[in-house]
């Protein structure tokens, strides 16, 4: 997630996002079957997503919320491998991204996430009571807020990777990184809307389990932000720290370890066993 200095100068939540309208080549280039899904947010804004059906009988459906930049076509690398593990995937673009209508803003993105969770339950081949909501970076914050505040029907697990507890806190740090805004990081940070932050509502995700994943070398959203989100959450919860992991790298660079580990955790939760016990730190190589 890249928060620019202009964010603090305007206080506009739309500047939390860096959307791209053009979609890159479709999932077929990755050897993954898909179909387009068009649906609407609560206020009628048209939204677009891709549904990737599981190979074989589906064990569950993952609703994927991407980070703040570009669109689903550049974030699909985080989830394209799941259908081969017998999980459907529904990934969508927030308003203002890709082929979705409207202009990006934080309130709208939160409503879009809730709409996507509802839409996923209606898709052919989806068991509406076996959903996993998986968000990365700002998508993790949006996922936690959406589920905690009501979009929870059918959701059995929430996964937040490389995310943070508060918009204002992360904005303050980014303002402090730039010499032009360093002296103003505190006053300007108060212009950042904090209403939709995940931390204050994280405990309300329970009794749905929350899995927080964070690299200990994340230069964009440092580990302390993931720890703050984890501390704010209520049980049942788990924390996976990725040794040497950067920003949203668990299922890419360190996929050899964490892809199978995530599938094991999802199966355990969906089959009624709850999250697996904590494990020791695993080598990411």
Q: What is the pLDDT, as a whole number, of residue 279?
A: 62
pTM strictly above 0.75: yes
- Strand order in 210-215's β-sheet? 35-40, 46-52, 87-92, 60-65, 131-136, 155-161, 210-215, 237-242
Identify which of 4-13, 15-24, 237-246 has the greatest average pLDDT: 237-246
Sort 18 into a burial class: Cβ within 10 Å, 0-12 / 13-18 / 19+: middle
Model confidence band, residue 25 (pLDDT cutoffs 50, 70, 90): confident
Q: What is the pLDDT, as a whole number, of residue 3?
A: 39
Model confidence band, residue 281 (pLDDT cutoffs 50, 70, 90): very low
Measure CA 120 to chain center: 15
Residue 277: is its pLDDT beyond 60? yes
Q: Say whether 145 sits in a helix, a strand or coil.
A: helix
Dump the DSSP string for 183-230: GGHHHHHTTS--TT-SGGGGGGGTTS-EEEEEETT-SSS-HHHHHHHH
Model confidence band, residue 191 (pLDDT cutoffs 50, 70, 90): low
Residue 232: is its pLDDT beyond 50? yes
Largest Cα–Cα distance in the chain?
57
Closest CA to 90 of 111, 70, 67, 119: 119
Residue 16: is its pLDDT beyond 80? no
In the block, which residue shows the tokens 């505040």?
A: 149
d(CA 32, CA 29): 7
End-to-end CA distance of the chain: 24
Q: What is the pLDDT, as a whole number, of residue 269?
A: 98
Beta-sheet pairing, 46-52 with 69-70 = unpaired
Q: What is the pLDDT, as a whole number, of residue 149?
A: 98
Q: Say whether 152 sits in a helix, a strand or coil.
A: coil
Which CATH number, 3.40.50.1820, 3.40.190.10, 3.30.420.10, 1.10.510.10, labels domain 22-166+199-270? 3.40.50.1820
d(CA 72, CA 64): 9
For the chain, give every domain's residue range.
22-166+199-270
* Average pLDDT of the residues in 218-236: 97
14 touches 42 (CB < 8 A): no
d(CA 247, CA 132): 21
Structure token digits, residue 225 = 């932000």
Would you mind telling me the total number of residues written for the chain in this entry?
A: 285
Structure token digits, residue 199 = 């931390």
Residue 50: is its pLDDT beyond 90? yes
* Average pLDDT of the residues in 5-29: 69
pLDDT tens, position by position, 119-156:
999 999 999 999 999 999 999 999 999 999 999 999 99
């Amino acid at each position: 997630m890249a928060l620019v200095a202009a964010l603090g100068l305007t206080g506009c939540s739309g500047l939390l996002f860096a959307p791209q309208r053009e979609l890159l080549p479709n999932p077929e280039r990755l050897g993954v079957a898909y179909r387009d899904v068009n649906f609407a947010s609560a206020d009628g804004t048209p939204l677009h997503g891709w549904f990737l059906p599981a190979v074989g009988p589906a064990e569950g459906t993952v609703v994927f919320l991407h980070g703040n930049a570009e669109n689903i076509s550049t974030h699909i690398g985080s989830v394209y491998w799941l259908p081969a593990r017998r999980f459907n995937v529904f990934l969508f673009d927030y308003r203002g991204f890709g082929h979705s209508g409207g202009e990006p803003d934080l309130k709208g993105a939160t409503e879009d996430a809730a709409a996507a969770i509802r839409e996923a339950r209606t898709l052919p081949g989806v068991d509406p009571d076996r959903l996993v909501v998986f968000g990365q970076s700002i998508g993790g914050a949006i996922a936690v807020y959406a589920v905690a505040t009501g979009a929870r029907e059918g959701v059995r697990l929430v996964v937040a990777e490389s995310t943070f507890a508060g918009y204002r806190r992360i904005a303050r740090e980014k303002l402090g990184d730039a010499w032009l805004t360093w002296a103003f990081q505190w006053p300007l940070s108060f212009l950042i809307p904090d209403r939709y932050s995940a931390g204050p509502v994280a405990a309300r995700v329970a009794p749905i389990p929350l899995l927080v994943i964070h690299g200990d070398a994340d230069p964009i959203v440092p580990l302390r932000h993931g720890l703050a989100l984890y501390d704010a959450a209520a049980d049942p919860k788990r924390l996976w720290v990725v040794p040497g992991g950067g920003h949203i790298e668990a299922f890419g660079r360190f996929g050899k370890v964490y892809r199978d580990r995530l599938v094991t955790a999802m199966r355990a939760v969906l089959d009624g066993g709850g999250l697996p016990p904590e494990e020791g730190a695993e080598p990411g190589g």
